């Protein structure tokens, strides 16, 4: 008996804090076996990385694991992911598992692009996001809820930032009228990192200035303005960042009236020169047809010709002799 007590005391010396020893002793008071059990977690916690980075069009995995103070919980549970802010942000994914089941049935998947990879029964809420876009670049928060006999829930406070990268893409290029019959050009592009924009064109100086668009596209939109287009021709906007380059063009042609002031400006896109030639051909044909329509006498409507049978017959067959009329 003294040997058994000494052995238990020795084992207690080397066990880590928060563990306990369970022993079984037979009738002969001999030590049969010893099982070491770690004590359960005493609080909620969630582990998420600070940031996950992926390219637009690809997929990304948002890891999330948690601990809870309940031993062997197998009741109903719900897994939730939010975007933007914790507790109040819109849900992008939600699934629920019945009591004793490891299958979490999806109840919400925004645009069908969010899928649970982890197993909530094993404290894993990891999420996969498909077909990434720049609009997905934001912070996400995982949450788990217990129901049944135990009502408890926990949500990450800081979340994980999803950083989406993308090559530049010009989303809009336009020419707008300005004061004193002048014109200005605007070019808007998106990308991450935000692209640098530059204008090129006929007799173009250093008048191009890139200005970030306030409050649009989660900070991925950049706009460059060309304040004055002084010459007719092609103006090209170029967007570039570390991932690529993109270009788009507009054509400016001003037609001057008799007074010499520009009356019409024709603004075309990258294929505008071909469209300009086509419009010129159509305008020439219309000009040739217009005198013919002016010299042709108007034909009276058919409804008016039916007021007199005699006139109607004469119009239908002008060469035939007039019909004989008998008087009583």
Same domain? 124 vs 176: no
Are residues 185 and 218 located together in one domain of the fold? yes
* Cβ atoms of 93 and 116 closer than 8 Å: yes
Instruction: Note whether 126 and 201 are same-domain residues.
Output: no
* pLDDT band per the 50, 70, 90 thresholds, residue 14: very low
Whether residue 50 is found in the same domain as residue 120:
yes
Q: What is the pLDDT of residues 112-134, one digit of tens each?
A: 999 999 999 999 999 999 999 99
Task: Answer yes or no: are the C-beta atoms of 92 and 140 closer than 8 Å.
Answer: yes
The confidence score (pLDDT) of residue 182 equals: 81
Q: Is the same domain home to 175 and 76? A: no
Residue 121 lies in a domain: yes
Residue at 274 is within a domain: no
User: Is the whole model's pTM more than 0.75, yes or no?
Assistant: no
Read off the pLDDT of each residue in 134-157 and give the average, rounded to a whole number: 91
CA angle 111, 117, 123 (to 5 degrees): 125
More confident residue, 104 or 43: 104
Per-residue pLDDT tens for 20-76? 333 333 333 333 332 333 344 468 899 999 999 999 999 999 999 999 988 888 899
Higher pLDDT, 262 or 165: 165
Domain shared by 112 and 172, yes or no: no
Which residues have C-beta within 8 Å of that of residue 213, sequence separation ≥ 6?
Answer: 188, 221, 222, 223
On whether residue 78 sits in a domain, the answer given is: yes
How would you label 65-98 residue by residue, b for 16+ Cβ within 10 Å and e otherwise? Answer: ebebeeeebeebbbbbbbbeebeebeebbbbbbe
Mark whether 49 and 153 lie in a shared domain.
yes
Q: Which domain holds residue 187?
A: 167-252
Residue 136 sits in the same domain as residue 235? no
Are residue 171 and residue 131 in the same domain, yes or no? no
Q: Which of 158, 185, 217 is the last residue of a domain?
A: 158
Q: Is residue 65 part of a domain?
A: yes
- How many domains are contained in the chain? 2
Of 141, 150, 168, 7, the residue nearest 62 (C-alpha): 141
Q: Is the pLDDT of residue 94 over 60?
A: yes
What's the CATH number where 149 sits? 2.60.40.10
Quick check: is 282 in a domain? no
Q: Which of 129, 158, 187 is the last residue of a domain?
A: 158
What pairing do the DSSP bridges indicate for beta strands 51-55 and 160-177? parallel
- Asked if residue 292 is part of any domain, the answer here is no
Whether the per-residue pLDDT at 12 is higher than 60: the answer is no
Identify which of 154, 79, 90 has the alpha carbon closest to the alpha carbon of residue 120: 79
Average pLDDT, the chain: 73
Residue 177: pLDDT over 50:
yes
> Is the residue at 112 inside a domain?
yes
């Amino acid at each position: 008996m003294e040997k058994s007590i000494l052995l238990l005391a020795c084992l207690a010396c080397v066990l880590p804090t928060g563990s306990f020893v369970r022993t079984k002793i037979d009738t002969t008071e001999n030590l049969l076996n010893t099982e070491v059990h770690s004590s359960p977690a005493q609080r909620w916690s969630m582990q998420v990385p600070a940031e996950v980075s992926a390219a637009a069009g690809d997929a990304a995995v948002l890891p999330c694991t948690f601990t809870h103070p309940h031993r062997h919980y197998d009741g109903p549970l719900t897994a939730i992911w939010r975007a933007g802010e914790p507790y109040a942000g819109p849900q992008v994914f939600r699934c629920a598992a019945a009591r004793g089941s490891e299958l979490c049935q999806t109840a919400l998947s925004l645009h069908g692009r969010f899928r649970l990879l982890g197993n909530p029964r094993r404290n894993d809420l990891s999420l996969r996001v498909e077909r990434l876009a720049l609009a997905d670049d934001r912070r996400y928060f995982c949450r788990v809820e217990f129901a049944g006999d135990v009502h408890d829930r926990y949500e990450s406070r800081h979340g994980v930032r999803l950083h989406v990268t993308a090559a530049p893409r010009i989303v809009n290029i336009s020419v707008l009228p300005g004061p004193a019959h002048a014109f200005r050009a605007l070019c808007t592009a998106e990308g991450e990192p935000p692209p640098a924009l530059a204008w090129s064109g006929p007799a173009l100086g250093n008048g191009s200035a890139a200005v970030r668009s306030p409050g649009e596209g989660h900070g991925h939109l950049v706009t460059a303005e060309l304040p004055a287009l002084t010459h007719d021709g092609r103006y090209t906007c170029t967007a570039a960042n570390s991932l690529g380059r993109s270009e788009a063009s507009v054509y400016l042609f001003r037609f001057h009236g008799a007074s010499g002031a520009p009356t019409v400006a024709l603004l075309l896109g990258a294929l505008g020169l071909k469209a300009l030639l086509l419009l010129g051909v159509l305008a020439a044909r219309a000009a040739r047809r217009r005198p013919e329509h002016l010299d042709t006498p108007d034909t009276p409507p058919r409804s008016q010709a039916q007021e007199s049978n005699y006139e109607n017959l004469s119009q239908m067959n002008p060469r035939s002799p007039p019909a004989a009329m008998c008087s009583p």
